[in-house]
Homo-oligomer: A and B are copies of this chain.
Amino acid sequence: MKKTLIKNVGIYQNHTVSEHQNIEITDDKITGFPKDKDVLFCAYDEVIDGHNMLALPGFVNAHNHIAMTVFRSYADDMDLMDWLQHKIWPAEDHLDGDVVYAQTMLGIAEMIRCGTTSFADMYFFMDDTARAVEESGIRACLSRGMTGITPSAETALKESKQLFLDWHKKGDGRITVMLGPHAPYTNTPDYLHRVVDLAHELGAEIHTHLSETKGEVENIKKQYGKSPIAWFDELGLFDTGCLAAHCVWVDDDDLDIMARKHVRVAHNPGSNLKLASGFAPIHKMLDKGIVVGLGTDGASSNNNLDIMEEMRLAVLVHKANTLDPLVIPAETAVQMLTEGGARALGYRDIGRLETGYKADITLIDRSGLHWYPRHDMLSLLAYAANSMDVDTVLVNGKVLLRNKEFTTIDIEKVKSEAERTKIKLFASL
C-alpha cells in the first residue's frame, strides 16, 4: 500500500475552487481530504507540495489519432480531400509498428506535459500504441480504425477483436478497448452490421467519426435517405454505447437521437477550425444532457496535442458564432475538459476529485504572470492559463510528471526516436 498526500492545494470540486486543501491518495484512489490538524506527515510515502497550485481532475483528450504526430506540419493549408488523398493516405500505407510506437510515445509525452491523464485513440498498429500506453503510465481507450470500403476491411475486424481480447481492462485497468468503425462514408451497411454483431459479442462500445463535414452529411443523405446520425442509429451502432467525434453538422432530430441513445460527443474545435469543418452546436448538445468531452484529433490536423488549447477554443469560438457571450461559460469549458471527457470515454470513477475516484490528478502552477492579479480562478483557468502551467500529473495514483519533468519517459530519446522514425517513413515514400 502506497500513501501520497498533496498538501496545501487549491481544489476544483463541484464547479468551484477551495484553497488550502489536502488530498490523500492510497494506491490508485483518492481516499480523503484531511484537514491540516488531522494530517500526520510521516504516515505518507510521498508528500507533494501544492503551494500556489490548483488541483483538477486529470484532463481527458476524448479523440486522437496519436501516431499522426509523424505528420505534424507535413501538409497544412490544404483542402481536406486533397490533403487526405495526396498526402496522408499514401504516407499511412508505409506506417509500421516501429513508427507507431515511437510517435505514440511522443504524443503521450506531449499530452502528459499538457496535463492529460487519459485519451481516446483510433488508428493502426494498436498493439504498439497499447504497449506505449502500458509503459508510460497514461490511461487510454483504444480502437483499431475500421474502414469497410478498403482492402484492409477483413484484417481490421480480426485485429479489432484481438485488440479487445488482448488489451481490454489490461495495464492495471488503465487500458480499455472500443471498436472503431471509422465513419459513415468509409463503410458499407453489410460491414457495419458485422461491426455491430462483434460489439454485441464482445460487449464492446463504439468509437467513430460522425457528421464532421457538410459534404459528408449531404452525401450520406443522398445515398441512404437519412443523416449519418439517423443511419448509424438504424444500423444499431449506438446500442452498446458510442463515442462520436465531431458531430458538427447535426440538426435537432439528430440531437434528439443522440440524447435518447446516450451518444457521447468528442468536440474537437481545433481540428474543426483548421480543416474548415465548421462549428459543432455543443451548447444545444449540453442543453439536451448529451455528454461532451474535448479532443485534439490527430496532431496533423491541429497541430499539437494541447487539450487546454482545445478548452480555450471551446470557451471562445461558440460565443462569436452564436453572437451570444454567455453560450459556453468558463465553468462549462472546465467541465468538458475533465468530467465531460471522462464520461465520454465511459469511465465511471474518473473525472472528479472525490473519495473513491481514481487518483488521476493534474496540478496547475499559478505562478505565471497571466495568473495575476486574481479575481476568479475558473475564469483564469479557462481564459488566461496555458498548458505550460501544468506542473504535476498523476494517473492511477502514480506521478508521471513532477515539477514539469517526466518520471517514466526519457524525453530526449522520445524526440530522437520521433525524428528517426519520421525520416524512415518518408524515405520509404
7 A-B pairs in the complex with CB atoms less than 8 angstroms apart: A80-B325, A276-B324, A303-B384, A305-B370, A369-B415, A373-B422, A388-B388
A370 and B110: CB pair below 8 A?
Answer: yes
Residues in B with CB closer than 8 Å to A325 are: 77-80, 274-276
Query: Whole-angstrom distance between the alpha carbons of A418 and B374 in the complex?
Result: 9
B110 and A69: CB pair below 8 A?
Answer: no
A330-B76 contact, Cβ under 8 Å, with A312-B309, A320-B317: yes
Residues in B with CB closer than 8 Å to A418 are: 372-373
Contact with B along A295-333 (1 / 0, CB 8 A): 000010011111001001100110111111111011000
Check if A88 is an interface residue, CB within 8 A of chain B: no
List A359-394 residues whose CB lies under 8 Å from chain B.
369-370, 372-377, 379-380, 383-384, 386-388
Closest to A379 in B: B73
Query: Whole-angstrom distance between the alpha carbons of A387 and B379 in the complex?
Result: 20
Check if A233 is an interface residue, CB within 8 A of chain B: no
Closest to A107 in B: B369
A383 and B76: CB pair below 8 A?
Answer: yes
Residues in B with CB closer than 8 Å to A71 are: 375
Majority SS at the chain A contact face: helix
Of A109, A379, A387, A421, the most chain B CB neighbours within 10 A belong to A379
Residues in B with CB closer than 8 Å to A109 are: 369
Q: Which residues of A are interface residues toward B (Cβ below 8 A)?
A: 69-80, 103, 106, 109-110, 113, 214, 270, 272-279, 299, 302-306, 309, 312-313, 316-317, 319-327, 329-330, 369-370, 372-377, 379-380, 383-384, 386-388, 411, 414-415, 418-419, 421-422
Closest to A305 in B: B370
A330-B77 contact, Cβ under 8 Å, with A278-B320, A303-B380: yes
B388 and A319: CB pair below 8 A?
Answer: no
Given contacts A73-B374, A275-B325, 17 further A-B contacts (CB under 8 A): A69-B373, A72-B372, A76-B329, A76-B379, A77-B330, A103-B373, A273-B316, A273-B317, A274-B316, A276-B322, A278-B320, A303-B370, A303-B384, A317-B320, A373-B418, A373-B419, A386-B388
Query: When A and B form their complex, which 8 residue pairs have the shortest distance between CB atoms, in order from nearest?
Result: A373-B422, A388-B388, A73-B379, A303-B383, A273-B316, A276-B325, A77-B329, A303-B384
Choose one: B113, B279, B303, B422; the contact of A320 (CB below 8 Å).
Answer: B279
A274 and B319: CB pair below 8 A?
Answer: yes
Residues in B with CB closer than 8 Å to A80 are: 325
Q: What's the least CB distance linking A101 to chain B, in Å?
A: 14
Query: Whole-angstrom distance between the alpha carbons of A372 and B412 in the complex?
Result: 11
